[in-house]
Amino acid sequence: MQIAPGSAPYVYLIIESGKILMIDFVNESNTTEATTLHERVRSLKVCPNGRYLITAGEKGDIAIWGVKRVKPQA
């Protein structure tokens, strides 16, 4: 996953299809999505530094996602 840098907070959504949607709260056109391997996502936590997401599935499976911030192209 790659997200452009900025001081704006991000909103993380879990869609029923098992996708995670990350939306820049200020610049709504800056969105990223990722598909999980969980049959059904039970929870999502964001590390305080914003560099990792942790998702947990209904069957007890856990995934750790690295979030890489990239500079927007001019």
Number of domains in the chain: 1
B/e letters for 7-40, b = 16+ CB within 10 Å, e = fewer, are eeebeeebeeebebebbbeeeeebeeeeebebee
Condensed to tens digits (0 to 9), the pLDDT of residues 26-67 reads 777 677 888 888 888 888 888 887 788 899 988 899 999 887
Q: What is the DSSP string of the chain?
A: -EE---SS-EEEEE-TTSEEEEEESS-TT-EEEEE-S-SSEEEEEE-TTSSEEEEEETTS-EEEEE-EE-PPP-
Range of the domain at 55: 2-69
Q: Is residue 13 one of the residues assigned to a domain?
A: yes
CATH of the domain at 64: 2.40.10
pTM score, two decimals?
0.68
Q: Is residue 74 one of the residues assigned to a domain?
A: no
